[in-house]
């Protein structure tokens, strides 16, 4: 997936990332899965964005300002890592939160990392734990190992659900959460 794919509005990229593969070679073991849930966060006018106009550019959110196709990694509630893909044009802080993954490769390792065999990557914190994603990948180019986004499968519109975003106070009703209907990797 090239830079041009990511250098578009977060909402478009979020929908089209469904079916893409996320491949990790972190921790010395290959793990991978199909992206089945995303959320779009679109720039300064989005009150739920970490880079909303009232916040502006900070050390924490600097990766959101580009270039597109990079990882924006942060801790939620001081506990769980969350992985985002930077989108949009340089200087316009947009990102897509990776919320859910359907495991394809390395399920045993994901289960070991998670300490469980179910719901391995259904939710942004679980996804990061299962693939060993952490803060050292902040700003990482997602076209290169050890963490890569690769083309996958096309999910037809009839198989895609759209809803408001989860876990945000502001603009939670904006229809910017995309998910593969009925897939067990989608968060509850």
Confidence of residue 53 (pLDDT cuts 50, 70, 90): low
b/e per residue, 147-160, with b = 16+ CB within 10 A?
A: bbbeebeebeeeee
Q: So where are the chain's domains?
A: 3-180
**Bigger pLDDT: 58 or 5?**
5
CA distance 70 to 63: 7
Percentage of the chain surpassing pLDDT 90?
73
Residue corresponding to tokens 């340089």: 90
Of residues 164 and 76, the one with the higher pLDDT is 164
Res 56: pLDDT: 67
pTM of the model: 0.94
Helix (H, G, I), strand (E, B) or coil at 160: strand
- If DSSP codes are grouped into helix, strand and coil, which group holds residue 136? helix
- What confidence score (pLDDT) does residue 173 get? 85
Q: Which residues contact 89 (CB under 8 A, 6 or more apart)?
A: 7, 66, 68
d(CA 60, CA 50): 9
pLDDT at 77: 76
Select the CATH number that applies to the domain covering 3-180 from these four: 3.90.1150.10, 3.10.300.10, 1.10.357.20, 3.90.1200.10. Answer: 3.10.300.10
Task: Give the span between the Cα atoms of 145 and 90, in whole angstroms.
Answer: 23
Q: How far apart are the first and last CA of the chain?
A: 29
Kindly tell me the burial class for residue 2, based on how many C-beta atoms sit within 10 Å of its own C-beta (0-12, 13-18, 19 or more).
Answer: exposed
Statement: residue 131 has pLDDT above 90: yes
């Amino acid at each position: 997936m090239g830079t041009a794919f990511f250098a578009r509005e977060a909402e478009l990229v979020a929908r089209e990332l469904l079916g893409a593969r996320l491949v990790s070679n972190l921790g010395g073991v290959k793990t991978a899965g199909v992206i089945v849930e995303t959320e779009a966060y679109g720039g300064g006018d989005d009150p739920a964005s970490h880079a909303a106009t009232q916040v502006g550019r900070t050390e924490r959110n600097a990766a959101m300002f580009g270039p597109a196709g990079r990882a924006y990694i942060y801790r939620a509630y001081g506990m769980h890592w969350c992985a985002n893909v930077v989108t949009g044009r340089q200087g316009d802080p947009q990102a897509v939160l990776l919320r859910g993954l359907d495991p394809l490769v390395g399920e045993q390792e994901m289960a070991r990392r998670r300490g469980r065999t179910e719901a391995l990557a259904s939710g942004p914190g679980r996804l990061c734990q299962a693939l060993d994603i952490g803060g050292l990948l902040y700003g990482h180019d997602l076209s290169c190992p050890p963490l890569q986004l690769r083309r996958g499968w096309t999910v037809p519109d009839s198989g895609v659900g759209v809803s408001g975003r989860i876990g945000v106070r502001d603009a939670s009703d904006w229809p910017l959460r995309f998910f593969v209907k009925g897939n067990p990797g989608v968060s509850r």
